Structure 1
Amino acid sequence: MLDFTTYIGLFSAAFIAATIFPMQSEAILVGLILSNRFSVVLLVLVASVGNTMGAAVNWLLGRGVERYRDSRWFPLKRDKLERAQRWYHRYGKWSLLVSWIPVVGDAVTVAAGVMREPLPTFLVLVFIGKALRYTVLAAATLSMI
């Protein structure tokens, strides 16, 4: 059964959760899986794509951070961004595989933009990490049923 509004809602929640705005998409995914009304594979795919696209917003923010880094509204404090840059410098593009970790992941995706990681590489690595996280969450949820 395809209920586009449900999938759009999950995509939106996953998108927002990956940006600098506080949001939890995991609870929504678990609830939809537990409803037993939707394809688990499609739910995981939609959440993974939405979360990856939200991370791309952070990458874009990182690309333009030099202009705005000291603005009051900028979401990452200088020390947090510098710590993420050091992490990114140390582990390189592979750090994007853990971009799903709360707080740290957002900073790593911004740092990837600052460090000029090519967008295609960024998208592939972030998608892999986020898809693995949602897959593990889905598997854990299904094992409880």
Structure 2
Amino acid sequence: MPDWLVSLLHWLAMPEAGLGALFVVSLLSATLLPVGSEAALFGLLKLNPDLFWPAIAVATLGNTLGGAVSWFMGLGAHRVIDKARHQPTELHALRWLQRFGPKACLMAWLPLIGDPLCVVAGWLKFPFWPCVGYMAVGKLLRYLILTVLLLKVFPGGLPV
């Protein structure tokens, strides 16, 4: 492994830098960017097991804020399209989602559909704070379950 990569990984493993890096990765992974935060969380916890709860909290906060950014992107896109069309826009395929309302954001943790779901929640003008609350619960449960499972399956770390 190149020396610069070893240095970077060592720096990211430090509790001071690791939590900040985890926050950024978690925030970006909750947008439409193709980034995953689980590996960063797992790596940080393997190197710093005493940071379990702070890391879970930071990952949940970053991922929830990323979902909130996606919500605002959806709201903004809806407003721009409504303004361009000079009339309200409704997507008939998404009407079923309106039946669930903000509770649908509980599924924001799901791969592939979770991040776009936050955008759609903004598009449909679901209330912001209830959406963020449901996002946070779903994302917290995902991080807890995945991290505990990974730590039990790979107690000595991932095979290299």
Give the TM-score normalised by structure 2.
0.75
From the superposition, tell whether residues 7 and 36 of structure 1 become closer, same or farther in structure 2 (CA, over 3 Å): closer
Instruction: Select which of 68, 93, 97 maps to 1:88.
Output: 97
Contact 1:14 1:51 in 2 (8 A): yes
Is 1:23 the counterpart of 2:32 in the alignment? no
State how many pairs are aligned: 133
Contact 1:33 1:141 in 2 (8 A): no
Contact 1:62 1:113 in 2 (8 A): yes
Per-residue deviation, 1:33:
1.5
Mark the runs of 5 or more structure 2 residues left unpaired by the alignment. Answer: 1-13, 82-90, 156-160
Mark the runs of 5 or more structure 1 residues left unpaired by the alignment. Answer: 70-80
SS of residue paired to 2:109: coil
Task: Give the ranges of 4+ consecutive aligned residues of structure 1 lying more than 4 Å apart after TM superposition.
Answer: none
Instruction: Select which of 42, 66, 71 maps to 1:59.
Output: 71
Residue identity opposite 2:21 in structure 1 = G
Is 1:8 the counterpart of 2:17 in the alignment? no
Give the TM-score normalised by structure 1.
0.82
In structure 1, what is the Cα distance between the partners aligned to 2:80 and 2:112? 20
RMSD: 2.1
Q: Write out aligned runs for 1:61-76 (5 A).
A: 61-68=73-80
Residue identity opposite 2:106 in structure 1 = L
From the superposition, tell whether residues 52 and 82 of structure 1 become closer, same or farther in structure 2 (CA, over 3 Å): farther
Larger Rg: 2
Contact 2:102 2:121 in 1 (8 A): yes
Is 1:115 the counterpart of 2:124 in the alignment? yes
| Identical positions, percent | 34
